[in-house]
């Protein structure tokens, strides 16, 4: 069996150790004689798994008192709409910092529910740099301030947490959660679709401050209300039990790796390896993203001659390098370097890139 070096943007690589563990437990999980997918979420075995996954996430991220952790469904996209419903009444306004595709989509999905005000945008820079702080026009009365710490398609990342004053900060961390330590106390709400850095798609992890959980929001069905999910330990209806299980295994793996401090160092090194290869290629490869805004998780790059793109993709695939085709919004290539991608995979990629240059330069 050969596993490829997987640079997919999402759904993305999972740690091999997690997959092997899941494989070994697939037919008989925890001595139950059934797979975890075949058991009631209300049974004591699954309830213990659920609690342990939450406890591990709380430890990994050092989640302070006063925050609730939820395991939800719907993908990050559904929560683009559900967050405004929960955090604001009909006449409210919320601020959005738009730094790429996902921020744009968050605004669009929020707009039926409140005034989604673009307080800053880097659209003029084609989202290839973060907007300068002195251009931000924050409303101190906003219901919340939403931003995307890492824009998965454009490859731009905040390397610090913006100061939102007294306005609760809401972060779509889908593509960089758990990639380094963050100070959760700076945030009102953190949410992430699982399929980049946590587990399979179909699961959303949310960390929400209790005063936001208590907000009245709009009239809505129970199933949309975060407080209802919280009151039912994220089991208001049948949760994604398989996703929750795999997330728990990933959290355990992260603890074994030394936690987020260690992951942060590794991720910085992986990204530095790839950017150095791009910047040191004498113009053969180019990163379109402003240096200060470059993402450690998603690295778009172009070839000096786009006529070579097809050859690059064919030859890289033949060398066991998976999913390097870039998103059409940026063009060229994109390598995603999530937690589950080892340094060795990046070394293989960089060697391939040098080799390709030698053959086509």
Ligand X SMILES: *Cc1c(COP(=O)(O)O)cnc(C)c1O
Q: 172-190 burial string, b = 16+ CB within 10 Å, else e? A: bbbbbbbbbebeeeebbbb
User: Given the complex with ligand X, which of 61 and 303 has the nearer CB atom?
Assistant: 61
Cβ-closest position to ligand X: 75
Asked if 244 is an active-site residue, the reply is no
Q: Which residues pair with 6 in a beta bridge?
A: 322
Stretch in the footprint of ligand X (CB under 6 A) among 75-83, 136-144, 225-233, 332-340: 75-83
Neighbours of 15 (CB within 10 A): 20
Catalytic residue, chosen from 5, 29, 95, 196, is 196
Kindly indicate which of the ranges 162-170, 172-180, 206-214, 303-311 contains the residues binding ligand X, using the contact rule CB under 6 A.
Answer: 172-180
Q: Is 148 among the residues that bind ligand X (CB under 6 A)?
A: yes
Instruction: Name the token pair of 75.
Output: 């993908």
End-to-end CA distance of the chain: 34
The 175-194 contact track toward ligand X, x by CB under 6 A, reads: x-----------------x-
In the numeric block, the tokens 């907007």 are attached to 131
When binding is defined by CB under 6 A, the residue of 152, 179, 241, 336 that contacts ligand X is: 152
Minimum CB distance to ligand X, residue 181 (Å): 19
* Cα-only R_g, the chain: 21
Residue 149 CA to chain centroid, in angstroms?
9
**Using alpha carbons only, what angle is made at residue 151 by residues 150 and 155, rounded to the nearest 5 degrees?**
95
Catalytic residue among 5, 95, 172, 253: 172
* Part of the chain binding ligand X (CB under 6 A), chosen from 70-78, 160-168, 223-231, 327-335: 70-78
Neighbours of 323 (CB within 10 A): 20
222 noted as active-site residue: no
With binding defined as CB under 6 A, does residue 82 bind ligand X? no
Exposed e or buried b for every residue in 66-93, given b needs 16+ CB within 10 A?
ebbbbbbbbbbbebbbbbbbbbbeeebe
Binding mask 23-62 for ligand X (x = CB under 6 A): ----------------------------------------
Distance between CA atoms of residues 106 and 118, nearest Å: 11
326 binding ligand X? (CB under 6 A): no
**Cβ-contact 193, 171 below 8 angstroms:** no
Binding mask 206-245 for ligand X (x = CB under 6 A): ----------------------------------------
| Nearest CB to ligand X, comparing residues 206 and 353 | 206
172 is a catalytic site residue: yes
Distance CA 9, CA 3 (A): 17
Quick check: 99 binds ligand X (CB under 6 A)? no
Query: Is position 75 an interface residue for ligand X (rule: CB under 6 A)?
Result: yes
> What are the start-end ranges of the E strands in 223-349?
285-286, 298-303, 321-322, 333-336
Binding status of residue 104 toward ligand X by CB under 6 A = no
Residues near ligand X (CB under 6 A) are 10, 75-77, 102, 148, 152, 172, 174-175, 193, 196, 201
Catalytic residues: 102, 172, 196
């Amino acid at each position: 069996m050969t596993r490829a070096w997987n640079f997919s943007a999402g759904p993305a690589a999972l740690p091999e150790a997690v997959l092997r563990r899941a494989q070994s437990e697939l037919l008989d999980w925890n001595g139950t004689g059934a797979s975890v997918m075949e058991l009631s979420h209300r049974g004591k075995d699954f309830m213990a798994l659920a609690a342990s996954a939450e406890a591990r996430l709380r430890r990994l991220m050092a989640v302070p008192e006063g925050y609730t952790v939820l395991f939800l469904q719907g993908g990050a996209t559904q929560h683009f709409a559900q967050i405004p419903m929960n955090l604001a009444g009909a006449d409210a306004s919320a601020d959005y910092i738009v730094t790429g595709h996902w921020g744009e989509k968050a605004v669009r999905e929020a707009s039926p529910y409140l005034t989604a005000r673009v307080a800053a945008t880097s659209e003029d820079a084609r989202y290839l740099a973060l907007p300068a702080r002195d251009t931000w026009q924050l409303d101190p009365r906003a219901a919340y301030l939403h931003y995307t710490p890492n824009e998965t398609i454009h490859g731009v990342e905040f390397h610090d947490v913006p100061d939102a004053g007294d306005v609760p900060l809401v972060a779509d961390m889908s593509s960089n959660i758990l990639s380094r330590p963050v100070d959760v106390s700076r945030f009102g709400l953190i949410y992430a679709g699982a399929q980049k850095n946590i587990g399979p798609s179909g699961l959303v992890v949310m960390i929400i401050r209790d005063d936001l959980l208590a907000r009245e929001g709009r009239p809505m069905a129970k199933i949309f209300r975060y407080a209802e999910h919280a009151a039912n330990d994220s089991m208001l209806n049948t949760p994604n039990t398989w996703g929750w299980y795999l997330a728990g295994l990933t959290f355990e793996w992260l603890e074994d790796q030394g936690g987020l401090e260690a992951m942060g160092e590794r991720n910085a090194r992986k990204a530095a390896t790839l950017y150095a290869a791009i910047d040191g290629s004498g113009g053969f490869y180019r990163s379109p993203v402003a240096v200060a805004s470059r993402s450690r998780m998603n690295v778009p790059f172009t070839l000096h001659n786009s006529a070579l793109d097809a050859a690059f993709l064919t030859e890289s695939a033949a060398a066991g390098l998976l999913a390097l085709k870039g998103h059409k919004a940026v063009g060229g290539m994109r390598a995603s370097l999530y937690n589950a991608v080892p340094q060795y995979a990046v070394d293989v990629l960089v060697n391939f890139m040098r080799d390709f240059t030698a053959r086509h330069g």
